[in-house]
Chains A and B, each alone.
Chain A
Amino acid sequence: DTEVTQTPKHLVMGMTNKKSLKCEQHMGHRAMYWYKQKAKKPPELMFVYSYEKLSINESVPSRFSPECPNSSLLNLHLHALQPEDSALYLCASSPREGPDTQYFGPGTRLTVL
């Protein structure tokens, strides 16, 4: 299994909602990432988990809350988002934190109304 899966594929939420994005990989990778990608822009790194511990938080607002329950799963909890948070959210994984290739999921397209 060489795949990173993400659910849901699309999500529409209001500014007062709480929702979660889910990412899963079964490649035995020990580093997992969340990226945000706005239209016609490259992905921007949000968080890095290494061995289930938060390694990097790129000054992301607290309305985004990551969670890594185990080595295969990565969640992104969303609360009180703003319309400008609408974007494609990409999850990636790599064997370890370092210069390894990152493997990306298909993304969740989030729209905040």
Chain B
Amino acid sequence: GNSVTQMEGPVTLSEEAFLTINCTYTATGYPSLFWYVQYPGEGLQLLLKATKADDKGSNKGFEATYRKETTSFHLEKGSVQVSDSAVYFCALSLQTGANNLFFGTGTRLTVIP
């Protein structure tokens, strides 16, 4: 089947700390991979994406590399800010068939000053 597993939260970091949120996937085909972010009280915003192996998605200082050999798409940021506090969802979408997004359970990040 198709599924996404991401690290349990919550994650609490001090400002300027390094962030890693792990994400691994299982897919029957060749997925596109996404990170979405949800700020408190809001909908989901696309943070970054990668559509094939070895692609690196990046945005606002966040990066994730599509690793087919380890079926992973870990999210990293070198120096987090208080404004990065949010819930982060890893997701996959298959290249064929219906565009169902399979979401991970979400990881809540809190950054303290």
Tell me the A residues contacting B by CB distance below 8 Å.
4, 6, 31, 40-43, 45, 48, 55-56, 88, 90, 92, 94, 96-107
Contact = CB atoms under 8 A, between A and B. Distances in A.
B101 A45 contact: yes
Contacts of A99: 31-32, 51, 93-96, 99
B99 A98 contact: yes
Given A42-B104, A97-B99, A106-B42, 9 more contacts: A40-B108, A41-B106, A43-B103, A94-B99, A99-B31, A101-B46, A102-B93, A102-B101, A106-B43
Interface string B76-96: 000000000000010001111
The B interface, classified by DSSP as helix, strand, loop or mixed, is strand
Interface of B: 31-32, 34, 36, 42-46, 49, 51, 89, 93-96, 98-101, 103-106, 108
8 contacts: A42-B106, A48-B100, A97-B99, A98-B95, A99-B51, A99-B96, A101-B49, A103-B46
A55 B106 contact: no
A65 to B, nearest CB: 20
